[in-house]
Amino acid sequence: MELKLSENALKVLERRYLKKDEQGKVIETPEGLFHRVAHAIAIADKAYGKVEYEVKTLEDAFYRIITALEFLPNSPCLMNAGKELGQLSACFVLPIDDSMESIFESLKATAMIHKSGGGTGFSFSRLRPKSAVVKTTGGVASGPVSFMKVYDAATEAVKQGGTRRGANMGILRVDHPDILEFIRCKESDKHITNFNISVAITEDFMKKLQKGEDYDLIDPRSHKATGRLNTKDVFELIVKQAHKNGEPGIVFIDRMNEFNPTPKLGNYESTNPCGEQVLLPYESCDLGSINLAAFSKNTGGKPDIDWDRLKTVTHLAVHFLDNLIDVNKFPLPEIEKATKQTRKIGLGVMGWASLLILLGIPYNSDEAVALAEKVMSFILDEATKKSLELGRHKGVFPAFKGSIYDKKDNTTRMRNATLTTIAPTGTISIIAGPCSSGIEPLFAISYYRNVMDNDKLVEVDPLFEKIAKERGFYSRKLMEKIAETASLRDIEGIPEDVKRVFVTSHDISPEWHVRMQAAFQKYVNNATSKTINFPNEATIEDVRKSYILAYELGCKGITIYRDKSREEQVLNVGTPGSHKAEQKASEPKKEIVPRPRPEVIIGTTTKVSTGCGNLYITINVDENGKPFELFTQMGKAGGCAASQLEAIGRLVSLGFRSGIEVKAIIEQLRNIRCPSPSWEKGQRIFSCADAIARVVEKRLVNIQPQEVGVEAAGQIPMKHSHEDEGKEIGDSGSRGDIVGVCPDCGGALRHEEGCVKCHACGYSKC
């Protein structure tokens, strides 16, 4: 079969998946990669008595469905199958017990997992609360959030071999005494950046919430009540924080345990980083996704789904994922033991929005929701049949006795404790393209991509471009116009039936997002990764209603994102400044005008040792004590370094004089890293920018104005007043769910499936 890959798919494969030599040169073709993966997974059947030609037949079948882009396994499998590392799982959950030994044993395991390309989930609910007495030392405990920060710092230090970034899920039960601190712990987008966080909500909490009653906070060591909070107050705080920046999410932990197939092994406490794979301590799970867009067919002029082919691919995918467990090289023996005890797999889907477009069905319709149930129930049913077949030939999973499948009639002798999961499909959906991510709607119809020399290239959804050309309304000018907006709704020249089908995430109300998630969840053993998108103007009440609806419709968790709610959201789908047209005509335009410089101004100079030498930082305040300007001078700097410091000083001064909040300036500069970090009075100074942030915080935030004094001796010459610098603050606007700049290619990062992803190069961070 001829392998047809898009330009984007080839770029992603070359950057992240294809084998490279010691000099970083690609030495593998895409066909070679898929042969490597198919062979490495099929060979597992040898251990179950299959002869050479049977294994080769299975390998060929695996290769066909992968090269046809009908099914793709998770990224660690594509990267590592048939190679020395051999770690093929994406999801891990590690236990954290209330002892230093357990906390740091799991931290070490986390580093090993991240190094091998996996993501980790933790429940911090067993840890004693902040300020609890530590009997062995006589001191007090620092609490779950402090240890989350330790794990976050360790994750930052591990680069996963340059292929996948570390990602974590931190979960705390709603009845833990430190729950309020936990809910607020990511109030700033700059804190605990390598974690997604979710509150584990209990059934008791939800029942009391309906009546607005108080509930008990339970000490995890004594299991006794230590206080009470009002359910409504806590829930409103969760909703408020999620409205602010998308976190925390919610997992309905008792509902997850209701579907625990092996309750005798223990209760679920946590999930993987994106919340879709709930696991017992030390379990891992291998994931794969069927590309639904590849199964549309035309029957008598009417679009339909190729159900026979979908059945065949589902059976092969289950066989593939089960074999993967046997050939996997696990990071720890405890993980291998726990994983093989239950043999959980997570078969999911991608290309759902693409399939709906091919069938002419709007995403936000009852027809789409009904079809979602039909498709996922079909996949689960066929996956179950295949797992039963494998159970008969290869044996049931070892923890079968006492599981929900352990029945006397022997008709449910399953090979795998779980079968289905809807996972994020960031890079593999690019490889399978044109293919939408997971079960998400399209993020945009047309958008700009920056290429070399600052040229702009218009990218158009392939299905839309095909229909536009077939129906005669395609033009480059129209595509550019679409790229400048968030929707087709107000674009003239596009037929209404096309607008109805080509809806984007922000055309769709949050209710439809939740209903779609719930429809798939009905037939998913584990959970479903889905972002519930909100427009920027959505209210806290809108978010609250969606959380309640998710509970009422049977979802196992929910993650929301309100457009433009994160500070990093600096790019746009349209042209720079295009968001200005969104302003209401009646809304007065607000201008930011820097304050004029007084004749006399006073300040302080602080000396900081950096990796580049001694840096002198002068902060001046006006007659009212408000910060006004910042100057820097490096003892040995010159050339580019001096000019960069001068630029930072001018921009910070402009921020001071324009009334920008000091904390916002600090957060933009803090933890920026350079190749030459240093230590200053027990603190790590990552760069000159980081040093400036720390001095600004020390001088303007952490002490009273009258306490400010000159720390370094000598006078620092003030070369510039910045009086005339930066009188206009430009803005590039923002649109859609873009949340930042890709660190690999400079493209747009978008918030999808609980992750930030770059559609240009395949970078993702969950």
- DSSP code of residue 589: P
Residue 254: partners with Cβ closer than 8 Å, 6 or more residues away: 202, 203, 204
Strand pairing category for 168-173 and 195-201: parallel
Question: Using an 8 Å Cβ cutoff, are 142 and 189 in contact?
Answer: no
pLDDT at 517 over 70: yes
Q: Give the helix/strand (H/E) hosting 447.
A: strand 446-450
What confidence score (pLDDT) does residue 487 get?
81
Secondary structure, 3-state, 244-297: HHCCCEEEEHHHHHHCCCCHHHCCCCEECCCCCCEECCCCEEEEEEEEHHHHEE
pLDDT at 448 over 90: no
Q: What does the pLDDT look like over 35-77, one tens digit per residue?
A: 999 999 999 999 999 999 999 999 999 999 999 999 999 999 9
The closest alpha carbon to 294, from 526, 64, 524, belongs to 64
| Helices assigned H by DSSP within 158-258 | 179-184, 203-211, 231-245, 253-258
Domain layout of the chain by residue ranges: 7-86+273-431, 91-271, 602-707
pLDDT band at 706 (very low <50, low <70, confident <90, very high): very low
Low-confidence winner among 175-184, 381-390, 538-547, 574-583 (lowest mean pLDDT): 574-583
What's the rounded Cα separation, in Å, for the pair 369 and 295? 18
Q: Reading across the β-sheet that carries 755-758, which strands appear in turn?
A: 738-741, 748-752, 755-758, 764-765
Q: Which residue has the tokens 């290619």?
A: 745
pLDDT at 581 over 50: no
What confidence score (pLDDT) does residue 758 get?
75
Give 106-141 as a DSSP string.
Answer: HHHHHHHHHHTT-EEEEE-TTSPPTT-B-TTTS-B-
Low-confidence winner among 366-375, 535-544, 683-692 (lowest mean pLDDT): 683-692
Terminal Cα distance for the chain, rounded = 34
Q: What does the pLDDT look like over 374-415, one tens digit per residue?
A: 999 999 999 999 999 999 999 999 999 999 999 888 788 999
- Domain 91-271, what fold? Anaerobic Ribonucleotide-triphosphate Reductase Large Chain (3.20.70)
The closest alpha carbon to 369, from 382, 381, 356, belongs to 356
pLDDT band at 588 (very low <50, low <70, confident <90, very high): very low
Q: What is the CATH number of domain 7-86+273-431?
A: 3.20.70.20
What's the rounded Cα separation, in Å, for the pair 82 and 297? 34
Mean pLDDT of all residues in 462-485: 90
One-letter amino acid identity for 472?
G
Mean pLDDT score of the chain, rounded to an integer? 86
CA 21 to chain centroid, in Å, comes to 30
pLDDT band at 642 (very low <50, low <70, confident <90, very high): confident
Question: Using an 8 Å Cβ cutoff, are 76 and 89 in contact?
Answer: yes
Decide which of 579 and 742 is more confident: 742
pLDDT at 333 over 90: yes
The reported pTM is: 0.78
Mean pLDDT of all residues in 603-616: 86
Question: Using an 8 Å Cβ cutoff, are 183 and 138 in contact?
Answer: no
What confidence score (pLDDT) does residue 175 get?
98
pLDDT at 556 over 80: yes
pLDDT at 726 over 60: no
Question: Using an 8 Å Cβ cutoff, are 169 and 122 in contact?
Answer: yes
What's the rounded Cα separation, in Å, for the pair 438 and 738? 18
Number of other residues whose CB lies within 10 A of the CB of residue 406? 17
pLDDT band at 739 (very low <50, low <70, confident <90, very high): low
pLDDT at 219 over 90: yes
What's the rounded Cα separation, in Å, for the pair 122 and 283? 12
Mean pLDDT of all residues in 465-471: 94
Mean pLDDT of all residues in 96-100: 94
Q: Which residue has the tokens 């709906």?
A: 356
Mean pLDDT of all residues in 638-648: 77
Active site residues: 272, 274, 276
pLDDT band at 580 (very low <50, low <70, confident <90, very high): very low
